[in-house]
Amino acid sequence: MKTDHKPSAHREVSPLDGRRGTLFILSAPSGAGKTTLCQALRERFPALKYSVSATTRPPRKGEREGVDYFFVSRDTFCERLEKGGWAEWAEVYGNFYGTSAAFLDRALAAGEDVLLDIDVQGTRQILRLYPDCVTIFIMPPSIDALRRRLENRGTDSPEVIAKRLVSAREEMAQKGLYRHVVVNDRLSDALAELTRLVAAYGGR
């Protein structure tokens, strides 16, 4: 799909109650523990809203609309793209994924803090629209440790693991894009650091 849509200048979100919400972005290479940390953060901060992505791929078994993803048609996705409806988007293996700009704007304007789980490419797009967001990169202690974690999961072939490690090196090389870097060597320590960051920047 070709489009001439480009992100506009950063979005001005006017607080309704005197306080603008804080947008938190978490990124990490596959296997670094981001999903587990996101879930733990949401349990510790029940008021922290989680941004659910939209996708054009069909639901997998057990996935729920509005919980795992918002499932939309390709035409709907492209229409919203042309209208600037996605704060960030990407095409992955022929399917589109995106984050709703309207959802982020509404939540931030209402003074709500939002957690966004996206990759480095998506973070670059978000920063153009929301330059004040709090960006956090989750690092594995080492590439070797990451390899062991991926192997211990037992879900990927050696070929897939090799590809994930190549991508991980590329993502880790861009950690300077992020305001904070948290090394997930021990899960409890990484969670404590993330909890401190969210409490420091957030208002709830």
Task: For residue 18, name the pLDDT band (cuts at 50, 70, 90).
Answer: low
Using 50, 70 and 90 to split pLDDT, how confident is the model at 11?
A: low
Q: What percent of the chain has pLDDT over 70?
A: 90
Q: Report whether pLDDT(69) > 70.
A: yes
Pairing of strands 23-27, 134-139: parallel
* pLDDT, mean of residues 173-187: 96
φ, ψ for residue 24 (rounded to 5)?
-105, 130
- Per-residue pLDDT tens digits for 137-170: 999 999 999 999 999 988 889 998 999 899 999 9
What local confidence, expressed as pLDDT, does residue 98 receive?
96
**Residue 200: predicted pLDDT:** 95
Q: What is the pLDDT of residues 23-44, one digit of tens each?
A: 999 999 988 999 899 999 999 9
* The pLDDT of residue 10: 53
pLDDT for the residue numbered 204: 52
Q: Give the predicted TM-score (pTM) of the model.
A: 0.85
The pLDDT value recorded for residue 93 is: 78
pLDDT recorded at residue 3: 41
Classify each residue of 53-66 as buried b or exposed e, where b means 16 or more C-beta atoms within 10 Å of its C-beta: bbbbeeeeeeeeee
The domain segmentation of the chain, as residue ranges, is 23-201
Rounded Cα distance between 101 and 53, Å, is: 11
Distance CA 149, CA 152 (A): 5
Q: What is the pLDDT of residue 5?
A: 42
- Write the pLDDT tens digit of every residue in 74-97: 999 999 999 999 999 999 878 999
If you search the block for the tokens 């480095």, which residue do you land on? 120
| pLDDT score of 6 more than 80 | no
Pick the CATH number of 23-201 from 3.20.20.70, 3.40.50.300, 1.10.3720.10, 3.30.565.10: 3.40.50.300
